[in-house]
Amino acid sequence: MKSVIAILTTFLFCSAILPHQDDELAKSIQRGKMIYSENCITCHMGTGEGVTATFPPLAKADYLQSHENAIKAVKFGLIGKIKVNGVDYDNMMPNPGLANDEIADVLNYIMNSWGNSSDKKIVTPEMVEETKEKK
Write down the pLDDT at residue 52.
87
What's the total number of domains in the chain?
1
Structural domain includes residue 2 = no
Write down the pLDDT at residue 37.
97
Structural domain includes residue 17 = no
Domain that holds residue 78: 26-130
Structural domain includes residue 4 = no
Structural domain includes residue 44 = yes
Q: Is 132 strand, coil or helix?
A: coil
Which domain CATH number covers 43? 1.10.760.10
Distance from C-alpha of 2 to C-alpha of 102, rounded to nearest angstrom: 45
Distance from C-alpha of 81 to C-alpha of 102, rounded to nearest angstrom: 25
Contacts of 98 (CB under 8 A, 6+ apart): 35, 39, 74, 75, 106
Structural domain includes residue 84 = yes
Distance from C-alpha of 95 to C-alpha of 131, rounded to nearest angstrom: 14
Biggest alpha carbon distance in the chain?
64
Structural domain includes residue 121 = yes
Q: What is the mean pLDDT of each run of 10 residues along the chain (135 residues)?
A: 59 53 91 97 96 94 91 95 94 95 98 91 96 79
